[in-house]
Structure formats: C-alpha cells, structure tokens
Amino acid sequence: MKNNLLDYDLNSLTAWFAEMGEKPFRARQVMRWMHWSGAANFAEMTDLAKSLRAKLEEKAQIGVPALMTSQESKDGTRKWLLDVGTGNGVETVFIPESDRGTLCISSQVGCALECTFCSTGRQGFNRNLTTAEIIGQLWWANKALGATPKDERVISNVVMMGMGEPLANYENVVRSLSVMLDNHGYGLSRRRVTVSTSGMVPQMDRLKEDMPVALAVSLHASNDAVRDQIVPLNKKYPLKELMGACRRYLVKAPRDFVTFEYVMLDGINDKAEHARELLKLVEDVPCKFNLIPFNPFPNSGYDRSSAENIRVFRDILQQAGFVVTVRKTRGDDIDAACGQLAGQVKDKTRRQQKWQQLLVQQ
C-alpha cells in the first residue's frame, strides 16, 4: 500500500526520504508543494527530477478526503462534508469575518465523550481520524477558498473545535499541528491555532510540552454537580484538577489566558448564582469567557437561555474584570453552528439506537 504523504510532518517526512537515499531538502520541497501549492499529485512538482517523481509515484500518494457535500450559509459560513471511507463523513466549517478567516476542523468521526448538549456526542463514535484526514481538511478548504488578490491565504486561523475531542486523538492531532505551524507547511502562528478540549488533564500537560498552541476549554458549568451531568468526563477529571491543568498550561502557552467556552442552557447553568460561582472557580486562572447560546437540535432536551439571562450572566463576569464575548450564531441555517456538527457516522457505540429506544419508552 502506498504511503500517504499527508500523514507526515517535516521530521517524519525527512526520515522517510532518508530511507530512500534522498537528501533532507527534498522533504522540504515536497512539503511546500503539498501544503503551499495544494499539489494533489507528483507530476505537478516540476522542480523535482523526473526520476524522483517516478519513485514517489511508485511508493506514495497525496491522499485527500473526497467532497461529499458543500453548503453555504446566508452569512457566508461554509460547511463541507468530507468522505473518510467506510460510509463515514466529517464536517469542516469555514467562518469568514472582517479581520480573519477561521477554519473549524474535526479530529474524530463522531465523539465518545457524550456531552449531553452536543449533537456530535449524541450520534456516537466510530474512530480517530488519521493525520492525513485531519490536515486534509485544511488542505481541502485552502484549495476550495483560493487566495486573496494579494496572494494571502483566506484561512488565517484554525480551531480544533469540530467533531470529536482532539486530545483523545493525541498523536495524530499533534502531528497535524506540527504541519500547520511549520513554515514549509501552512506557517500559522501558535497564537492563531487553538485546540479545544473538554478537560483531558494528562493530555493537556503533554500538549504543553509537545506543541503549546492556544487553549480553549469546554467548561459549561460552574460546579462539579452540574458538570458531571452535562460533561461526563468531569467525573474522571473534576474541576479542581482541570483548573490546575489550565494554570500549568499557561506557563508555556502562546497566549497568556485560557478561553473558557460556556454553552448557555436554559435553567441548567445560566443563573446569576452560576456566574458568581464561576468567578470563584477561576479566580487564579487568567482567562476570558466565550458564552455560546445553545444551538438546538432534535430531541436535545435543552432550550437556549433567554437573551436577558445571557446579558445578566455576561454583565456579572464583565463587572469582575473579565473579557467576555457572546458568540454570534453563525451558520445555524446549515447546521454549522457550535454543537450542531453531525457528519455521517457508522456508530460503533450504538448510541443513536439507544437514544431512539429511550425516546420510544418516554
């Protein structure tokens, strides 16, 4: 079977070329062709000798996910469903803004963490994505979006906030981050690449040492009792441990704060008392808050917090001196908003079937 060169970062690609008796600069050339130029085959790599191109054709491929569907929202948000084989598809979302273009990338087919307010978590889990399938989303979107008239890339920021828990697919995610940050890959700044986690404490400590990029934590609750219910991972790594990991991460982080994401669920976590509890929880963790109005999906069992509750919650945090944003709901008309990504998952956990049985019983 041919090696997919999108599975390699510069170090591993250099080692692979060395095994073939080729010099290290060949790996840099091929990286630039694949990621700068979006080359999909070796024939395009015109500064490589024909004999090397023939050798690469024999031993390797540039295997990118195929497009299944493409949608564009009325607000300019774009969503692509990409085929990752055996009936599975993952969703990737591009969000254009006046000062940046952000690509939201998936790391798994489905998700195993079962956060109760997330449609990705509701549909079950199939497998981790390979490095090629992760970086292939950036490759594909870069190609689809093209460049500006000044030849600047449209994608300026990447967030690992799509389907899946990135730190549950640690090795492949870190290798993908290496390609994103490498000047022979996509040349993105560590400050412009964000990994979002639900709170996998040991992996947060590893990421701090291996590839410290900007960190976002899906917090969603101000106490363990609520978080145990809506983010089951909290039973393994409760809030005290999670806050400790956040403090440790900031020692090497490219930004001097953690972003806490907080989905606003009516009557669950959106009261003034929750906001005040939150202030005590994070008092020694430099942070900012991103409040996310809940994006409904069928049979979720939750409602979006009222605009007034969100305003009061935000004001309490702001008055204590924190930077707080209320996320605009982008792309919800094409189910591309936060928590709505569903992809196409052959569910190994049979979670969808269990949910249907539960709904029938009710």
pLDDT in tens, 209-257: 999 999 999 999 999 999 999 999 999 999 999 999 999 999 999 999 9
pLDDT in tens, 82-116: 998 888 888 899 999 888 999 999 999 888 898 98
Q: Is 91 a catalytic residue?
A: yes
Neighbours of 32 (CB within 10 A): 17
The pLDDT assigned to 301 comes to 86
More confident residue, 164 or 344: 164
More confident residue, 346 or 87: 87
How much is the average pLDDT of 322-342? 67
Q: What is the chain's mean pLDDT, rounded?
A: 90
The pLDDT assigned to 261 comes to 97
How much is the average pLDDT of 309-314? 98
Which residue from 341, 349, 37, 76 is spatially nearest to 184, judged by alpha carbons?
37
DSSP of 45-80: -TTS-HHHHHHHHHHEE---PEEEEEEE-TTS-EEE
Binned at pLDDT 50, 70 and 90, residue 352 comes out as low
Question: Residues 115, 118, 287, 338: which is the catalytic one?
Answer: 338
The three-class DSSP label of residue 287 is strand
Q: Is 287 a catalytic residue?
A: no
What share of residues in the chain are helix, strand, coil (percent, to 5)? 40, 20, 40
Percent of the chain whose predicted confidence (pLDDT) is above 70: 89
How much is the average pLDDT of 105-134? 88
Examine the pLDDT at 334 and tell me if it is beyond 70: no
Question: Residues 91, 133, 165, 261: which is the catalytic one?
Answer: 91
CB 173 within 8 A of CB 137: no
| Burial state string for 191-207 with b = 16 or more CB within 10 A and e = fewer than 16 | ebbbbbbbbbbebbeeb
Examine the pLDDT at 337 and tell me if it is beyond 70: no
Percent of the chain whose predicted confidence (pLDDT) is above 90: 72
Which residue from 333, 224, 214 is spatially nearest to 274, judged by alpha carbons?
224
- Measured CA to CA, the distance from residue 8 to residue 20 in angstroms comes to 15
The pLDDT assigned to 327 comes to 82
DSSP of 306-360: PHHHHHHHHHHHHHTT--EEE----SGGGT-STT----B---TT-HHHHHHHHHH
The pLDDT assigned to 75 comes to 85
Spatial neighbors of 175 by CB under 8 A, at least 6 apart, are: 7, 8, 9, 12, 131
Strands (E), the chain: 3-4, 60-61, 66-72, 78-83, 89-97, 100-104, 108-110, 125-128, 157-160, 193-197, 214-218, 258-264, 287-293, 324-326
Which residue from 55, 34, 60, 59 is spatially nearest to 45, judged by alpha carbons?
34
More confident residue, 69 or 329: 69
Residues in the chain: 362
Spatial neighbors of 186 by CB under 8 A, at least 6 apart, are: 35, 138, 142, 153, 158, 179, 180
pLDDT in tens, 25-77: 999 999 999 999 999 999 999 999 999 999 999 999 999 999 999 888 888 89
